[in-house]
Amino acid sequence: MADKNQIQRRLKELRSKLSQKGLDGALIAKRENYIYMSNFTGTFANLLITHDKAILVTDFRYVEQAKEEAQLFDVIQYQGSLTVTLNDLVSSNNIKNLGFEEDYLTYKNYDDLLKKLSISKLLPLGRAIEFLRLIKDSEEIQVIREAVRIADEAFSHVLKYIKPGVSETEVAAELEYYIKVQGARGPSFDTIVASGLRSSLPHGVASHKIIEIGDAVTLDFGAIYKDYCSDMTRTVFVGQPKEELKQIYEIVLKAQKAGVEGAVKNLTGSEIDSIARNIISDAGYGEHFGHSLGHGVGLEIHEDPRLSQLGSLKMNNGMVVTVEPGIYVSGLGGIRIEDMIVINEDKPMVLTASTKEMIIL
């Protein structure tokens, strides 16, 4: 989806990082990273980016697609051994210090490259591309907006299907079907539909449990649109819930709103996490909120920055994150509310439009 200007900008930024790190080139094999750097969206490619060359190596299945999508790259088809082709390329481009994706390349592949490429050093890229991906440009935000819009529409659509006697999987299937019909490639992860006592499972993927009167139903789902993800959570009640669950709902809602308002430029992920976490702790449910407040979303459903107690990165304009506090009480149920937002100076843009007020179906 990225146009030539975006790709050119990204290549320029990566090359300046290569200079800073003393690298002659970068080898990129992680799908989200090669989509970002080249615009090629197939399932297999290795990019070799040097200071003056941008090369995409793929196999027979993808040559035509790669030429169409990765217009700023020289597309090379390998046959037989990928490492032989890569070795020809590093030799002909005089690459001595080659950067690799240290949290993606397997030990086996690392060992293989080290043995078979005639280079001096294989060095970690230090998450250079993930670092570029932290800040979304306006074109990316437009695409993410559409992924969020599809999820919002799917939520209001599926409310009609949530009733006693229907199983969690039926609700999930309807959500996912609707997401696809709306133009998304599919769900951005296994849809979570957790009802009744199962709602205390923070990641309760839809099961065959039948929804009953009095259940809290947590729906956590998203859409992939043009390779970008959305992510949202709402908890709705089917009939009147127990009083404690309603009280918990209001605490989570208060924490969620405070987290969204507090997500401003220059605060760290852990500072924002604390804003919401303190509200939940003060209400006496601290130990029932056992996960982080949120995470970055983009080409990956979970990416940096993290809004967690360990999140040391400072927020900056154009970062897209979720804010999703929850309280889970075993034997009673759980509540989670999640929106996606864009960091924007001292007031974030909230992308998720669905109501957060209590819904009793």
Give contact residues for Mn ion (rule: CB under 5 A): 231, 322
- Helix, strand, or coil (residue 89): helix
When the beta carbons of 322 and 354 are compared against Mn ion, the nearer one is 322
Pick between residue 140 and residue 303 the one whose CB is nearest to Mn ion.
Answer: 303
Least distance in Å: CB of 236 to Mn ion?
Answer: 17
What is the arrangement of strands in the sheet containing 97-100, beginning at the earlier edge strand? Answer: 74-77, 54-58, 46-50, 25-28, 97-100, 121-124
140 vs 338, which CB is nearer to Mn ion? Answer: 338
Cβ at position 298, least distance to Mn ion in Å = 12
- The DSSP call for residue 330 is T
Complex with Mn ion: residue 274 or 322, whichever CB lies closer: 322
> CB-wise, 117 or 275, nearer to Mn ion?
275
Q: Which residue has the tokens 């923070």?
A: 202
Q: What are the residue ranges of helices labelled H in the chain?
A: 4-21, 31-38, 63-69, 82-92, 107-116, 128-133, 138-158, 168-181, 243-262, 269-282
- Residue facing Mn ion at closest CB distance: 231
Nearest approach in angstroms of CB 148 to Mn ion is 12
CB of 92 to Mn ion, least distance (A): 44
Long-range contacts of 100-104 (CB under 8 A, 24+ apart): 100/26, 100/27, 100/124, 100/125, 101/27, 101/28, 101/29, 101/30, 101/33, 101/125, 101/127, 101/129, 102/126, 102/127, 103/127, 104/29, 104/30, 104/33
Shortest Å, Cβ 202 to Mn ion: 10
Smallest distance from the beta carbon of 338 to Mn ion, in angstroms? 5
